[in-house]
Amino acid sequence: MGCPRAAKPARRRSPGPAAVAAVARRWGLTDAAHYSKAFRAAYGLSPREWRAVRRAV
């Protein structure tokens, strides 16, 4: 199911190049690796892949 905190950053992230670690800290996750794993579990993409898809749209 993934980390429920991974969903909020995905909805609120700006299209800018915010560092994954900064986003993880902002949402109370311990580090970038934890955030990336939770994000992938929730969305099937890494934060970097998600950002690339969003830019292409």
CB 24 within 8 A of CB 43: no
CA distance 53 to 47: 10
The reported pLDDT for the residue numbered 5 is 59
**31 C-beta neighbours (distance < 10 Å), count:** 11
Number of separate domains in the chain: 1
The reported pLDDT for the residue numbered 14 is 47
Range of the domain at 19: 4-56
CATH of the domain at 11: 1.10.10.60
Length reported for the chain: 57
> Secondary structure of 29-49 in the HEC alphabet?
CCCHHHHHHHHHHHHCCCHHH
The reported pLDDT for the residue numbered 44 is 93
Task: Note the pLDDT tens digit of each residue in 1-57.
Answer: 455 555 555 555 544 456 777 877 888 887 888 888 888 998 999 888 988 888 887
The reported pLDDT for the residue numbered 1 is 47
CA distance 57 to 52: 9
